[in-house]
Chain A
Amino acid sequence: MDGAIETYSGWGRAHFATGPVAHPRTVREVDPGKPAFGNRRSYGDAPLNHGRAATDMTALDRIVAFDPVSGLLTVEAGATLGDLLRIYAPRGWKPAVVPGTGFATVGGAIGMDVHGKNYRDGAFGDHVTAITLLTPAGEREITPNSGAIWKATVGGLGQTGVITRATLQLAPCPGTAMLVTERRARDWKEHLEMLGSDAPYIVGWIDATATGAALGRGIVEEGQIVRGITPKAKAARTIPIDAPHMALNPAVVQAFNAAYYARVPKAGRSSVRTLETFFFPLDKIHDWNRLYGKRGFHQFQCVVPLDQADVLKQMLEKIAAAGVASPLAVLKRLGPGNGNFMSFPMEGWTLAVDMPNRPQVKPLARELERMTFEAGGRIYLAKDALAKGSSIRAMYPHHADWLDEVTKADPDGLYATDMVRRLELRS
């Protein structure tokens, strides 16, 4: 089953692909000979295969087995982390690490080795205990003891085979409410200090339009899971049309950011939210990516070593000066990396900034890419659509090991995607 021709994009909607897309409902229907994608929450071209075939795995989203004693959960690759959180939190368990959207699938979270707001718990892949890979040679289960194939698969951009199911070690979840404390960080220095707190979950929103002494100002959110009553979840809303280009012009963004900052009282405040509102703040606004208009947008995300935090500050200066910053800019800590060959997380600070797709963004992204590399950091491939292959390959020191293993697992290059070709990761 090849599927009809479709045109689809990543979350940023700046790049599109056209090609046959199959939508299997059972593992039997999965064609092992082409790359797979989930809900395409990666921003750039990672889930795209232009002019060639691909498999949409989202209908393969069944729970296969759960052990309520150990918290081991086996699911099909298309299961979303939001669903798993909703189903298991009331039963005392949760996915140990979740990214900023609950629409991310388990397969995608493995392929990108995603991280969350709890850096001490490592990356998503650190809590996966088994993965089933489907290739033309058949199905094969791998575990962390499988050696190089595991390290090439977790964070490996789907290049070692189609991930059809996985077993996750869920983490105990002591309640279904999140006690959230928001505080203003007045400048860069204060922001970094506050992000060093011992709260289990922590994330900083940065006003990327602020300059001078206010540079780095923002709101730091600390979260702790508690038992409690949460307000009833609000109904989801949908952005029905592409916003006009004007919607996110610099003046609007500046005004929005100022208001967003002032919203939190000087003394800070605490409130109780649902787990979903804390973990997936934008999921209730379906298709919010359309706010960036027809041309779409990019997200730049990098991580730099702890002692290189000043580089991020210089990046923010450049972004503010270019006048392309959007309301979405996030600063977080990341814990030590896990040694998977192409996994993004490494000990340091990570900065993520949305930027509308405008001509001046390309040279800016080049500059940010250079700064990242010189600081000894790396760019997150789940977000990337603009980087150069040579710099990416240099940022990921185990790229050659990954390539060796991927070539063994997929000698015919069946799983190459637009991103893999753009960055020449497999040539």
Chain B
Amino acid sequence: MSAETWIIVGATSGMAIPFTRLLAGRGAALVLAGRRMEDLSAMATDLTERGAVSATPVMFDARDPGTFDAILAAAKAAEGTLNAAVFVGSMPEQSAIDADPALVDGTIADSLTGPARLLTLLAPQFEDRGTGTIIGIGSVAGDRGRIGNYVYGAAKAGFATYLSGLRNRLGRSGVHVLTVKPGPVRTPMTQGMKMPFMAEADATAEDILKAADRKKNVLYTKRIWWPIMSVIRAIPEPIFKKMSV
């Protein structure tokens, strides 16, 4: 039996992979939720070799609430402290969204409504257990709507607000909620993009786990993004609307 079980939603994402390896290294039980079952089972073998007590692939599609039941069942069966980390999200180019506005729905389903609905379904289980941590991945892009990716930013802003409310609710029963706001991280999602203060996925994963262990509420990673975003948030709208940051 393991002391902790982690449900990893969006387990094959570039940020989730190193995070699950850290958890495996400390002997956690893992539930790996995602769309590509073949990749998830390869990942499960790898994580078991790396020390996970168990690693169970579960089919999950943020856009198909019919798939959420499997996660709820896995949560119910979890041994030790139940925890969840939600890494799902998608970031189409803003120009692609401008050309095909139907992409707005998918972006918001992947980054906001899908994960929010799942966490709302999971919340009572956490309340019953009265312990555990939920990690949600927002983004610095959610702190201000920028010309470059404001649909993705809007979805992440919504998710951050949702997490803030969820923290308010679950904190009353001893469950912790951590909002992570990463800057750009070198993952397949950001492949080939040139961005400032690019972080490595390994370092980001370490930051996230450390913040979860310390019960931090909001984590900017890298840290430099906290002062940067504080300044960007403080710029008055009449000026900001003329800027391209």
Say yes or no: A87-B51 contact (C-beta < 8 A), given A23-B191, A25-B12, A25-B188.
Answer: yes
Binding-face segment, B40-48, B59-67, B163-171, B233-241: B40-48
Verify A62–B45 contact, CB threshold 8 A: yes
Per the bound structure, the CA–CA distance linking A47 and B233 in Å amounts to: 44
List, in ascending order, chain A residues with CB within 8 A of B39's CB. Answer: 25-26
Q: Which residues of B contact A6 (CB under 8 A)?
A: 192
B50 contacts the other chain (CB 8 A)? yes
Q: Which residues of chain A are near B105, meaning CB under 8 Å?
A: none
A36 → B minimal CB distance (Å):
17
Asked if A251 is at the interface (CB within 8 A of a chain B CB), the reply is: no
Interface string of A20-43 (1 = CB under 8 A from B): 000101100000000000000000
Does B49 reach chain A (CB closer than 8 Å)? yes
A262 in contact (CB, < 8 A): no
In this assembly, does A3 line the interface, its C-beta being within 8 Å of a C-beta of chain B? yes
In the bound complex, CA of A25 to CA of B39 (Å)? 9
Given contacts A26-B39, A62-B42, A64-B42, contact A87 B49 (CB under 8 A): yes
Q: Does A63 contact B (CB under 8 A)?
A: yes
**B191, A63: Cβ atoms closer than 8 Å:** no
CA gap between A108 and B43 in the complex, in Å: 22
B10 to chain A, nearest CB (A): 14
- Residues of chain A within 8 A of B42, CB atoms compared: 26, 62, 64
Shortest C-beta distance, A340 to chain B (Å), equals 28
- Contact partner of A62 among B43, B188, B192, CB < 8 A? B43
Residues of B within 8 Å of A87, CB to CB, are 49-51
- Contact at B191–A62, with CB atoms within 8 Å? no
Q: In the complex, what distance in Å separates the CA atom of A6 from the CA atom of B39?
A: 27
Provided the pairs A62-B42, A63-B45, A64-B45 are in contact, do residues A4 and B51 lie with their beta carbons within 8 angstroms? no
Contact with A along B87-104 (1 / 0, CB 8 A): 000000000000000000
Collect the chain B residues with CB atoms within 8 Å of residue A247's CB.
Answer: none
Contact B49 A66 (CB under 8 A): yes
Cβ-defined contact, B45 with A65, below 8 A: yes
| Bound Cα distance from A62 to B44, whole angstroms | 10
Q: Inside 8 A of B49's CB, which chain A residues have their CB?
A: 63, 66, 87
Interface members, chain A 146-164 (any B CB < 8 Å): none
Measured CB to CB, the nearest residue on chain A to B51 is A87
In the complex, A66→B188 CA distance in Å?
28
Please name all residues of chain A whose beta carbon is closer than 8 Å to the beta carbon of B50 when the two chains form the complex. 63, 87
Residues of A within 8 A of B43 (CB): 62
Asked whether, in the complex, the Cβ of A23 is within 8 Å of the Cβ of B188, the reply is yes
Please report which residues of chain A, range 5-63, place their CB below 8 angstroms from some CB of chain B when the two chains form the complex. Answer: 5-6, 23, 25-26, 62-63
Q: A4 to B189, alpha carbons, bound, how many Å?
A: 12
Q: Which residues of B contact A23 (CB under 8 A)?
A: 188, 191
Contacts of B37-84 to chain A: CB distance below 8 A: 39, 42-43, 45-46, 49-51
Nearest-Cβ distance from residue B203 to partner chain A, whole angstroms: 10
Minimum distance in angstroms from A241 CB to a CB of chain B: 16
Min Cβ gap A412→B in Å is: 27
Kindly name the residue among B43, B45, B49, B50 whose own CB sees the greatest number of chain A CB atoms within 10 A: B49
Q: Give the residues in chain B near A4, CB-CB below 8 Å.
A: 191-193
State A270–B193 Cα separation when bound (angstroms).
50
Cβ–Cβ < 8 Å partners of B192 in chain A: 3-6
8 A Cβ contacts from B11-55 to A: 12, 39, 42-43, 45-46, 49-51
Q: How far is the CA of A6 from the CA of B46 in the complex (A)?
A: 29
Q: A3-B192, A25-B188, A26-B39 are in contact. Are A62 and B46 (CB under 8 A)?
A: yes
21 pairs across A/B with beta carbons < 8 Å? A3-B191, A3-B192, A4-B191, A4-B193, A5-B192, A6-B192, A23-B188, A23-B191, A25-B39, A25-B188, A26-B42, A62-B42, A62-B46, A63-B45, A63-B50, A64-B42, A64-B45, A64-B46, A66-B49, A87-B50, A87-B51
Inter-chain pairs besides A4-B193, A62-B42, 5 sampled, C-beta below 8 Å: A3-B191, A5-B192, A23-B191, A66-B49, A87-B49
Ordered nearest first, which 9 A-B pairs have the shortest CB separation?
Answer: A4-B192, A62-B46, A63-B49, A63-B46, A66-B49, A62-B42, A87-B50, A26-B39, A4-B191
